[in-house]
Amino acid sequence: MRITDEAVKEHHLYKSLEESIEEASDYISYLSSSNEWLTAEMKYLQDFISYKKLDDEYLYFRDHAHLQEEIDLPFPPYVL
């Protein structure tokens, strides 16, 4: 009887581990697809900046911008 109880416990642990691994796999898949999308968007933005010849303006903004913290937004924008 004791072996059966241990086997049941192991089976439940195994099932729980399988579920955790499946959730982690789904999350990794989501992160991977999000990363691919963001990488493509970044490429479009980089090419647009070059196409419009805004490289100097972008570098200035990147070096001097700060977060506008006085607004009540979850993600405050960068401003000069």
Give tens-digit pLDDT for 4-17.
888 888 989 999 99
**Cα distance between residue 70 and residue 42, in whole Å:** 28
The dihedral formed by the CA atoms of 35, 38, 40 and 46, expressed in degrees to the nearest 10: -130
Reported as a single tens digit per residue, the pLDDT across 21-69 is 999 999 999 999 999 999 999 999 999 999 999 999 999 999 999 988 8
Rg (CA), the chain: 25
What predicted TM-score, i.e. pTM, was given to this entire model? Answer: 0.65
Number of domains the chain contains: 1
The whole-number pLDDT of residue 71 equals 72
17: domain range?
2-79
Task: Report the DSSP beta bridge partners of residue 79.
Answer: 66
